[in-house]
Amino acid sequence: MNRELINRSMEYILQHFDEDLSVKDVAEYFHYSEYYFCRSFKAATGESVYEFIMRLKMDQSAVDLKLIPDRPITDVGLDYGYSSSNYSSAFKKHHSISPSEFRKLANPSVMENPFYPEGASGFDTFDGYADRTEIRELEDLSVVYERVIGSYMDLKENWPRFVSKYKGFIKKDTLFIERFYDDPAIASLNRCICDLCMTVDKSFSQENRTTIKGGKYAVYHYEGMIQDIFCSVQGVFSVWLPASGYTMDQRYGLNIYQKMEENSECVTMDLCIPIK
C-alpha cells in the first residue's frame, strides 16, 4: 500500500472518527483485507489503526472540553461514542488526568511553551487578539500536499525540502499553507499531524493533489518568531474564541504564510480557524 493510500485512509478516519468507526470499516472502505491494511498502516505511521482512532477521539474530545467549557462532560463523551463512566476512564488512561480536572486546567492565563522551554508565556487580552483577527470567507484551495507526523518544530526543516521538491510549480501567487490537525498543548508532541501544502492548478496531475474546502474562518494575523507561534495560537483559542460568540467548526485549521524565509526565525502568517 503506497503512502498516498495511507494518507487517504487517515483522511477518512479524520472525517469519521467521531462515529462508531471500526478498523474493519476502514479496511473495507478501501477494499483491503483487515490484516494487510493494519500491517501497512502501522508500518507507515508507527501506530496501529485502533491506536490512531482512539488517540483522535481522546485528543479531539479534550479540545471540545477546552473550547466549549459549558458543555457537560457526559455529552462530550457521548459525542465520541462513550458512556459517562467509560469516557472518564478512557480519558484518564490517555491523558493521565480526569476530564473534570483537565477542564479546570485547560485555559490558564499563562502557559509553558514546549518548543521554547526558557519560561512561561502570558496571553494577550481579548481586545488584543480581536484587533488582529477578522472574519473572512475563504475560497476552496487546490493544493499539492505532503503529510508529516512528528513535532511541529520539525516543520522548519521539512518546509525547505517540500518547497525544493515542487519548486517547478511555484508561481507569483502561490500560497504556502499548513493544515494542522492537533493541538500541541494536548496531543503528544512527537505525534502531531500536519499537511504541508502549496497551491497548484487543478490540472496538477499527481495523486497527492487535494482540495482544502473554504468557508467561514476567523483569521488572526501573526508576525514574529517561529517559537512564539505556539503561545499566540493558544491565546487565540483560550482567550479570543470562547468570548467571541463563535464556535470552531469541524474543518481543520490552516496557517497561510505571507513571508517564510529559510534562514530566518521570523514568519508572517495568517492563522485561520474554521468557525460557525
Concatenated DSSP letters for 209-220? EEEE--EEEEEE
Residue with the bigger pLDDT between 130 and 18: it is 130
Distance CA 146, CA 204 (A): 15
- The pair phi, psi for residue 85, each rounded to 5°, is -70, -40
Average pLDDT over residues 78-91: 90
Label residue 48 by pLDDT band (50, 70, 90). very high
pLDDT given for residue 170 in this prediction? 94
Say what the pLDDT of residue 89 is: 94
Global model pTM greater than 0.95: no
- Choices 3.90.1150.10, 3.30.450.270, 3.10.180.10, 3.20.80.10: CATH for 133-274: 3.20.80.10
Task: Say how many Å lie between the first and final Cα of the chain, rounded.
Answer: 37
In the predicted model, what is the mean pLDDT of residues 185-202? 89
Q: What is the pairing mode between strands 253-260 and 176-180?
A: antiparallel
- 173, burial (CB in 10 Å: exposed 0-12, middle 13-18, buried 19+): exposed
User: What cell does 181 get?
Assistant: 490537525
pLDDT at residue 190 in the model: 81
Q: What is the pLDDT of residue 262?
A: 65
Query: Are the C-beta atoms of residues 41 and 67 closer than 8 Å to each other?
Result: no
List every span in the chain annotated with CATH 1.10.10.60. 3-104
- Contact between 275 and 246 under an 8 Å Cβ cutoff? The reply is yes
Considering the chain, tell me which residue range(s) the CATH 3.20.80.10 domain(s) occupy: 133-274
Q: How many CB atoms lie within 10 A of CB 198?
A: 22
Q: Is residue 109 over pLDDT 70?
A: no
Q: What percent of the chain has pLDDT over 70?
A: 93
Give the tens place of pLDDT for each residue, 213-250.
Answer: 999 999 999 998 887 888 888 899 889 998 999 988 87
Give me the residue label for grid cell 524565509: 261
Chosen CATH of 3-104 out of 3.20.20.450, 3.90.650.10, 1.10.760.10, 1.10.10.60 = 1.10.10.60
As a whole number, the mean pLDDT across the chain is: 89
The residue type of 241 is L
What average pLDDT does the segment 118-147 reach?
A: 90
Mean pLDDT lowest among 102-106, 108-112, 134-138, 168-172: 108-112
Residue 134 β-bridge partners:
219
Dihedral sign, CA of 223, 189, 2, 164? positive
Give the tens place of pLDDT for each residue, 152-176.
878 878 999 999 999 999 999 999 9
